[in-house]
Amino acid sequence: MRIAFIGPESSGKTTLSEILAQKYTAELITEYSRVYLAEIQTNYSYEDLEFIAKGQFNCIINSKENNLVIIDTDLISMQVWSEFKYNKCCDFIKENIFTQQIDIYFLCKPDFPWIEDNLRENPNDREVLFDLFIKILKEYKIDYKILEGSITNRFQLCETNINSYLNNEKS
């Protein structure tokens, strides 16, 4: 089972991914862009996004089968960012959205204060990005759950959905 957390910067994706991976002793797939950008130590370009997407995708598809896998950011996030920043998106990203085989999408609403770090770059357009996530999810006809409010509220909604999914799988 694969669960992906998507949403604008500083919306709780990493925090929730880490908490849930620990709770369920699940495999955690972190945001590949952070590794890549730390390595290149320069501004990235549109061309870098395809490389980052391929790295994220490889981590996702190489996750262990029949295990619970928690994913902090997937190709939908890459598409949203690419279209927002560059007004275009490479074919690789669009062609592999469904190949990731995500079972549950949690879309994190940016209703927390934005926290700066050296890799974040967009504190002012988080609602615009959130709306773009919804638009793309609807275009792909992908079911998703919106997470909003406190981390505790978000965690409880995640836990309820994960447990329900796991119980239905066993039936």
State the pLDDT at residue 115.
67
Rounded Cα distance between 83 and 81, Å, is 6
The average pLDDT across 16-38 equals 91
The total domain count for the chain is 1
State the pLDDT at residue 122.
72
State the pLDDT at residue 41.
65
Q: Tell me the CATH number at 43.
A: 3.40.50.300
Which residue type occupies 170? K
Q: Do the beta carbons of residue 4 and residue 162 sit within 8 Å?
A: no
Q: Do the beta carbons of residue 157 and residue 145 sit within 8 Å?
A: yes
Contacts 24+ apart (CB under 8 A), 131-136: 132/80, 132/83, 132/84, 133/6, 133/7, 133/8, 133/76, 133/77, 133/80, 133/107, 134/107, 136/76, 136/79, 136/80, 136/83
The average pLDDT across 88-95 equals 97
State the pLDDT at residue 121.
65
